[in-house]
Amino acid sequence: MMFDELPAGAGVPQEIEALARENFDLDGDDAARMPAMVWSDAPGAVRVRLVARDGARIVGVAIGSVVGTAGFLDLLVVVPDMRRRGIGSGLIGQWESRATALGAEAL
């Protein structure tokens, strides 16, 4: 399993929108819009955007922010066929490490 940090770039990758659409139980297209709500940098916050890859396939995502000394994990999802393999725990661990490196003392 490989974990990568993604920049804000041109926006939310389509793979992440599809992952949210398929795995969140929300009405209409709200699930696909959810990653966009937490993707962009916000004033006073630094975003941490991580994906878990199995080869080229994105199988999990963790997105959160660091505001001052506080870290907030806003979104965590792992595709159903890859759950119970430690991917979510790995994403959380990587996210915590990155947030701590950015100054978060409370997560």
Residue type, 18: A
Confidence class of residue 30 from pLDDT cuts 50, 70 and 90? confident
14 touches 51 (CB < 8 A)? no
Nearest CA-CA partner of 5 in 42, 46, 52:
52
Question: For 32-71, what is each residue's pLDDT tens digit?
Answer: 777 777 777 778 889 999 999 999 999 999 999 999 999 9
- Which stretch of DSSP H or E encloses residue 35? helix 30-39
pLDDT (0 to 100) of residue 39:
77
For residue 36, give both structure tokens.
């966009």
Residue 10, pLDDT > 70, answer: no
> pTM value?
0.85
